[in-house]
Amino acid sequence: MPAATNLAELEADVVRDLALIAHPRMDWLEAKTSGGQPVLDVLIVGGGQCGVVTAFALLREKVRNILVVDRAARGREGPWLTYARMPKLRSWKDQSGPDLGIPSLTYQAWHEAQFGAAGWDAMTLIPKELWNDYLLWFRRVTRVPVRNGVEAGRIAPTRTDDGLPCLRVETSEGPLLARKVVLATGQEDAGRWWMPDFVAALPPALRAHSAEDIDFRALRGKVVAVLGAGASAFDNAATALEHGAAEVHLFCRRAEPQLVQPYRWLTFAGFLEALHAVPDAWRWRFMADVLGMREAFPQDTWDRAARFGNFRMHVGRPWQGAQETHDGRVAIRTSEGPFLADYLICGTGIRMDFGSVPTLSAFAGNIARWSDRYTPPPEEADERLGEFPYLAADYAFMERVPGGAPWIADIHLFGIASTLSFGPAGASINAMVYAVPRLARGLVRGLFEADLPRLWQSYQAYDEPIARIDPGRLAAQ
């Protein structure tokens, strides 16, 4: 098929491709109610790339009674136009994912349809605004139903009118009922942005986490201290420099910056497909090591900050305390002596904290963690990572103490916290072609199993002949 030369042609290709692979075409789920209210088959919380692509995978399985909700306004889902403070994605441009293997749905096909093959060749990395536009296009052409401006909260068990288990999810627009809930809530799926207590205790006007909304214009002429040496810390340092900060100092605990990106090593089919199914000892060994590192920064990220003469990186110099001074600055205590700054930015990532997440708070105490299920050898121990949830094969929560909240088996976590159990999965592009179909298969299996008595009745009542025969030709024995 010749390559599409505009989006209209590409969208026609998408329609044709999806029709060619639509087998099996039959709808198989029955609409349910609870207290007379409609029940969704699957409610997906989070309309970023993972939520939208999960919905697309379900539509392909003819699970159509679904809804995606996102608290953000349309087009503002995920980090791309808010706190992702880099001009371009850091991942390879030809890394496919949302397309789930359908060529006309790839980023490259979308890019070439608008900018030609030469435009694709000339581009090194994907500008984040274009990635965001692509995700919006993707969700339109795949007809994924998304309702923006809806924040999901507490989840509790209930039943459908015909007795099946289902869930009641409180939202900012009233309760929604669903047989299954997928939490595709990105980085904050099971925890909260973390900074040292002594930084959090400072007045908000003097400090921020890198994921917060920061008024960089106000940092003009100021001394900015950034904690952390992952890619996000660098992006925030560079943004401050570009906005005219007088000096930007980036502090990292380790003596050497992290230059090797383990995610590049592990991006091969065996790892992405099969890590989740190997014994815990191997899952932990690989993923605890990967997650124990800071995310390495690529060349572009370093160059963006290093081209400024007023940028300095301090390695092997952790922060040990911080105090506001009498003139409204911050005195930071570091391992190598004090440091005075006007504003602090922490690129210090996420910590698991189930109780702080509104969708998890009702059952936070009964979510099985890795520390409940696996004890690593002492040299591989890591208390922080032990707090990650220990998920079932379909990404569902498991109970810490069986019997207390069995209904959490219908809540599937597809954000960053699924990474320890599965390797890259939720909150990732590079594993999407493996991780999303795996999740969709798990959801289909759960919906099917719960419906077996009805399906048995349906099978027994099935009486549609596929041929007409002449009864006179049947010889009785």
Ligand X SMILES: Cc1cc2nc3c(=O)[nH]c(=O)nc-3n(C[C@H](O)[C@H](O)[C@H](O)COP(=O)(O)OP(=O)(O)OC[C@H]3O[C@@H](n4cnc5c(N)ncnc54)[C@H](O)[C@@H]3O)c2cc1C
Task: Kindly report whether the peptide bond that precedes residue 175 is cis, defined as omega within 30 degrees of 0.
Answer: no
Instruction: Report if residue 411 touches ligand X, rule: CB under 6 A.
Output: no
Distance of alpha carbon 206 from alpha carbon 323, whole angstroms = 10
Instruction: Report if residue 424 touches ligand X, rule: CB under 6 A.
Output: no
CB 338 within 8 A of CB 332: yes
Instruction: Report if residue 50 touches ligand X, rule: CB under 6 A.
Output: yes
Distance of alpha carbon 26 from alpha carbon 368, whole angstroms = 37
Kindly state the smallest distance separating residue 188's Cβ from ligand X, in Å.
6
Nearest to 84 by CA among 140, 43, 125: 125
Kindly state the smallest distance separating residue 395's Cβ from ligand X, in Å.
12
Kindly state the smallest distance separating residue 213's Cβ from ligand X, in Å.
13
Stretch that binds ligand X, among 85-93, 252-260, 283-291, 445-453 (CB under 6 A): 85-93
Window 341 to 360, contacts with ligand X (CB under 6 A):
358-359
Q: Give the nearer residue to ligand X in terms of CB position, either 91 or 334.
A: 91
- Rounded to 5 degrees, φ, ψ at 44 are -110, 120
Instruction: Choose, by CB under 6 A, the member of 105, 184, 287, 290 that binds ligand X.
Output: 184
Kindly state the smallest distance separating residue 176's Cβ from ligand X, in Å.
11
Instruction: Report if residue 429 touches ligand X, rule: CB under 6 A.
Output: yes
Q: Is the dihedral of CA 236, 239, 243, 249 positive or negative?
A: positive
Instruction: Report if residue 81 touches ligand X, rule: CB under 6 A.
Output: no
To the nearest 5 percent, what fractions of the chain are helix, strand and coil?
Answer: 40, 20, 40
Stretch that binds ligand X, among 181-189, 299-307, 383-391, 400-408 (CB under 6 A): 181-189
Instruction: Choose, by CB under 6 A, the member of 79, 349, 442, 446 that binds ligand X.
Output: 79
Residue by residue, DSSP assigns 124-161 as SS-BHHHHHHHHHHHHHHTT--EEES--EEEEEEEE-T
Distance of alpha carbon 297 from alpha carbon 314, whole angstroms = 15
> Distance of CA 37 to CAs 153, 175, 176, 229, 394, Å?
19, 10, 9, 50, 27
- Rounded to 5 degrees, φ, ψ at 134 are -60, -45
Instruction: Report if residue 72 touches ligand X, rule: CB under 6 A.
Output: yes
- Residue facing ligand X at closest CB distance: 48
Kindly state the smallest distance separating residue 431's Cβ from ligand X, in Å.
10
Q: List the structure tokens of 386.
A: 């032990």
Instruction: Report if residue 90 touches ligand X, rule: CB under 6 A.
Output: yes
Kindly state the smallest distance separating residue 456's Cβ from ligand X, in Å.
37
Q: Give the nearer residue to ligand X in terms of CB position, either 80 or 339.
A: 80
Q: Give the nearer residue to ligand X in terms of CB position, either 332 or 367.
A: 367
x/- letters, 208..247, toward ligand X (CB under 6 A): ------------------------x---------------
For 79, which DSSP code? S
Q: Give the nearer residue to ligand X in terms of CB position, either 74 or 159.
A: 74
3-state secondary structure at position 110: helix
Stretch that binds ligand X, among 106-114, 154-162, 180-188, 320-328 (CB under 6 A): 180-188
| 54, burial (CB in 10 Å: exposed 0-12, middle 13-18, buried 19+) | buried
**What are the residues binding ligand X (CB under 6 A)?**
45-51, 69-72, 77-79, 83-84, 89-91, 151-152, 184-188, 232, 358-359, 415, 426-430
